[in-house]
Amino acid sequence: MTDLAKQQHQIMGDLVLESAEIIQNYDNAKGYNVSDNTAEALAWAGLQSSTAWTLLDEIVKQNYKNIIDDESSGFEILAIGSPCN
pTM: 0.75
Summarize pLDDT for 5-62 with one digit per residue, the tens: 778 777 877 899 999 999 999 988 988 888 999 999 999 998 888 878 888 899 999 9
CA proximity to 45, closest of 5, 6, 3, 83: 83
How far is the C-alpha of 1 from the C-alpha of 15, rounded, in Å?
Answer: 20
Please, are residues 23 and 42 in contact by the beta-carbon 8 Å criterion?
yes
Amino acid identity of residue 47, one-letter, is L
